[in-house]
Amino acid sequence: MAREITPEEVAIADAMIARARAAMEEIKDYDQAQVDRLARALGWNCGNETTFVRIAQMGVDESGIGDRAGRAGKRFKILGVLRDALRGKSVGVIEEDPVKGLTKIAKPAGVIASLIPTTNPELTPPVTGIYAIKCKDAVIFSPHPRAKATTFEMVRVMRETLAKLGAPRDIFQCVENPSIPMTDYLMANCDLTMATGGKPMVQAAYSSGKPAYGVGAGNATMVIDEDADIAEAAMNSRISKTSDFGSGCSADGNLVIHAKIYDAMKEALIKEGGYLCNADEKAKLAEALWKEDGSRRIETVAISAQRIAEFAGFSIPEDRKFIMVEQDEIGKEHKFSGEKLSVTMALYKAKDFDDAMAKVRAIYNVGGKGHSCGIYSFNEDHILQHAMNAPVSRVMVRQPQSKANAGSFENGMPMTSSLGCGIWGGNITNENVSLKHYMNVTWVARPIPADRPSDEELFGEFYNTEVM
């Protein structure tokens, strides 16, 4: 039975919300230039290489999840978020359409409860903070218990940044002793929740009674078409799969490979550092990744390929970067067809492109609906067929999935650390959660010349026909 929130926790949460509202009041008259200056300062102080590397490695050490050497690579996301934020309007009139007689005015969303995942305690706070300060919101960060010190340290940097520029520190606050009751209380009493994390967290956010932006589970699946650049596809698959030891929901989990290039692709993946399991090793790997009840073993989430193999009871060479299994079956009872949260990848052989499309649909029936997928192909018809076929919100074409679908400097996706998965994933949006999601907007409508088509135009061939 879940415990109830204590009176002390209620008092702490109420005081934080009150301070947040008071801080918002202090900056309510800031103009666009002032909030842009604060956003730049946050981007620099949180995203400079020295600070970010230090706190990112602290996050890996504290949680035991992720790649200490590679976690710092997420720094680019702060730079991209700042780029996108600075290119958008967020104060006063943000859009005018004289033809339709419409003017749009931005206003703060309010006090935001931001739920921080154990995989991104150094990244999510500044990403949320940059977008929030642009819209004059306040944020209360609720860390994951396994990464609370890291989250608190990044928020400390953010608070000191504001103070140095004469803005109130309490625009950003962090819960020091997080608990599920405290988080539930914040979600129910703040104005908006940004929930980045596992399914229970997101479900709780949507049950709080307040608006929430959540994310769905990933199960990124890539189609390798017969005309793919095999070397490029293998390299990008390795980059995506090994980023932070596969901790992200965008890491390539399944490759559906056209039969004509299956063997060549497999060899290219081995050349990139993949280790292909035999049948015995595959069985041991399954036991290492999942418990008997089907739940994921936390001990093997986002750790190196060597440590996973050791946990499973076999060894692999030190130069191997990720683990591969060949898979035919798809279904909830076949765990390798679902999300793996590790440097483990399942390979499927497709007879032809139609078979690849059928396999993609089957895989997303196991998990990951609404999230993302990708394709390595130069056939525009196949690219569009794949996009039409897959029940996902974003499709990356010839790009490393985990480096691309949340925005990169090489595509036009909005930069974010939170990926909406739409109705498929039980989310309110299927967009990359970014600047526009952090504001209220007032629409002003002025009279315009009548825009009413004739009945003949509206009803077309059915005009004046017999009524049913």
Same domain, 253 and 208: no
Output the six-digit token pair for 36: 């842009």
Q: Is the pLDDT score of 127 beyond 70? A: yes
pLDDT in tens, 144-153: 999 999 999 9
Q: How does residue 110 score in pLDDT terms, banded at 50, 70 and 90?
A: very high
Same domain, 206 and 232: no
Per DSSP, the three-state class of 456 is helix
pLDDT in tens, 6-36: 999 999 999 999 999 999 999 999 999 999 9
Q: Give the residue-averaged pLDDT of 132-155.
A: 97
Same domain, 245 and 325: yes
What is the pLDDT of the chain when averaged over all its residues? 96
Residue 420 lies in a domain: no
> Would you state the pLDDT for residue 3?
85
Same domain, 375 and 236: yes
Please state, in angstroms and as integers, the Cα–Cα distance from residue 250 to each residue in 196, 305, 343, 465, following that order: 13, 18, 12, 53
Residue 1 lies in a domain: no
Same domain, 206 and 238: no
Q: Is the pLDDT score of 449 beyond 90? A: yes
| Helix locations, 48-179, DSSP H | 49-63, 75-86, 124-134, 148-164
Residue type, 203: Q
> Would you state the pLDDT for residue 352?
98
Residue 455 lies in a domain: no
pLDDT in tens, 347-374: 999 999 999 999 999 999 999 999 999 9
Same domain, 204 and 66: yes
Residue 16 lies in a domain: yes
CA–centroid distance for 139 within its chain:
19
Same domain, 43 and 180: yes
Tell me the C-alpha distance between 216 and 418, whole Å: 10
Same domain, 128 and 145: yes
Q: Give the residue-averaged pLDDT of 394-411.
A: 96
Same domain, 102 and 162: yes
Same domain, 48 and 166: yes
Q: Give the residue-averaged pLDDT of 130-152.
A: 97
Q: Is the pLDDT score of 425 beyond 80? A: yes
Residue 113 lies in a domain: yes
Taking alpha carbons only, the member of 245, 243, 253, 248 closest to residue 222 is 253
pTM, rounded to two decimals: 0.95
> Would you state the pLDDT for residue 198?
67
Residue 437 lies in a domain: yes
Q: Give the residue-averaged pLDDT of 82-97.
A: 98
Tell me the C-alpha distance between 399 and 434, whole Å: 21
> Would you state the pLDDT for residue 1?
61
Structural domain for 101, as ranges: 7-215+430-444
Tell me the C-alpha distance between 367 and 383, whole Å: 22
- Kindly report the number of other CB atoms within 10 A of residue 387's CB atom: 14
Domain count along the chain? 2
CA–centroid distance for 179 within its chain:
23
Residue type, 185: Y
Q: Tell me the catalytic residues.
A: 249
Q: Are strands 370-376 and 392-397 parallel, antiparallel or unpaired?
A: parallel
Instruction: Find the CATH number of the domain harbouring 239.
Output: 3.40.309.10
Same domain, 229 and 314: yes
Residue 259 lies in a domain: yes
pLDDT in tens, 224-250: 999 999 999 999 999 999 999 998 889
Same domain, 391 and 283: yes
Residue type, 26: E
Output the six-digit token pair for 449: 């010349």
Q: Give the residue-averaged pLDDT of 318-326.
A: 98
Residue 115 lies in a domain: yes
Instruction: Find the CATH number of the domain harbouring 205.
Output: 3.40.605.10
